[in-house]
Structure 1
Amino acid sequence: MRAGLGAVGLAVLAWACAGDPSALPAPSIVSVEPATLPVNAKDQDVTVRFDARYGVAVDYGARTVEARMGSGRVWVDDKEATVTRFDPEGVAIATVPRGLGAGAHAIRLRLDDGREAVAERALTLRPPGQEIIDPPLLEDGGVLIETDAGPIHGGFDGGVDTEDGGVQVDGGPGPDVPMREGDITGFSFDDIEGTRVSRTSFAITVHAQGPRAGDFQGSLELYASRGNVTPAKIGPCIGGLCLGFVALDAPAGNVRLSARDSFGATGESNTFRLEPYKE
């Protein structure tokens, strides 16, 4: 299966009768995944999420509205990638150029109306043989509990403070403390309503569950009960909320999605109908 450079976006129509691109805001790249790839690896792929607004032309006489969404192009630094698919509603597939050196590289997306988005140092190419090593988890030094160290002077009893504000309660680990196994117990999907079309992107929303659900900022691997799901990972999540656009490539029939984090906590969507893609 040929891999490529995928850009998954949240396309929003802007009502601009004049159709002047300069009146619309520039697109923005939200994230790039994976952030690291080997140098000159053949047919590697990254997923680029971006926000973009598009103009529309309104014909009041004919009572028609025409969206001017067009297509787009992708570069890694100054090397243009070969785009094999560009869905103006938010999905582009292009082959990552070869011949780029090791180090950090910029990803540039240009819409056909000339507006551009650039993510500096978004993709790192590692030298051959160098593996990706995740940073180790910080060791938890335990909870600091305030204790009475006894009298300051010998023979002096500090007694009981009548203005004691009560027992200090540990609020639990904050959002900067690394996640541990058991902090997240599972994931729940918002209902995927209606019928979806194979190879056409749609939005999903996934919520973390567990004692530290609100602190979850990781990524989720995605699986489909039938066929393949693209991208295979969404994230990073924010405050336990994971948003993404995905596409399924599978025959017509019922299907459901599953999500899993790095500790193995999982969750499943509802079952929904998938119809075939029509050329």
Structure 2
Amino acid sequence: MKRTSWVLWPLLLCACGPTQLPPPSIVSVMPGQVAAGVPSTLSVRVDAVLPLTVDYQAGGVDPAQLSMAMRLAGQEVDVPFAEPDGTLIVPVPEGLPEGAYDVQLTLADGREAVREQAFSVVPAATLNGPNPNPQDGFVGGVRSFLIDPIPEQVRDRPFQITLRADGPEAKLFQAPVSLRASVGTLTLVTPGAFVDGVLVEELSMSHPGANIYLLVEDTQGHKGLSNSFRVRPN
């Protein structure tokens, strides 16, 4: 027997029976501006009711029902992290010219939401000026974090990563940050500390897989995604 329910994300409310589900909405996109030519990360908060059909005979739920597609500037991007409050953390496509761009969300059943001109790509000098806009994520002179490219790795084999604070006062940054993986868990082998805005740490990954991302975040919510990389089993 199959029973149709729905999930209201991020409230996680379930109900039974057929119904016409409301369209999703994109509540916010942060930061509102990213620098041209610099790897960037967006936090896209959405409000969506996800359709859910439970197969009680098979004893499970088809995860494809919960899939969604995110497009920035018309290009589909990965969604490596989804937070409990409905925030999707996504990479900005590389090489976008300066200008304003839309963000589009498409759910598995075809319902869509579009936030027009949700973010802009601007010259880096604009963001590093003396009076940055607080709505663009500046606290203490830091805008975001960059992670140097990570090559293919092997499960449980330690490797080094380099994190860089980004912003007009990045070299002064010394606050703690958290680091997590989109698949499995990571273990810090040799923790480090920021020196002149740069942090080098040694870590290992617990699970093999393809298309894995790392996410760094400070206590003020500034974030940075790594590139997508593979972890081999051995």
Q: Given the two structures, how large is their TM-score scaled by the length of structure 1?
A: 0.39
- Higher relative CO (Cα under 8 Å, sequence separation at least 6) belongs to 2
Greater strand share, structure number: 2
Q: Larger Cα Rg: Structure 1 or Structure 2? A: 1
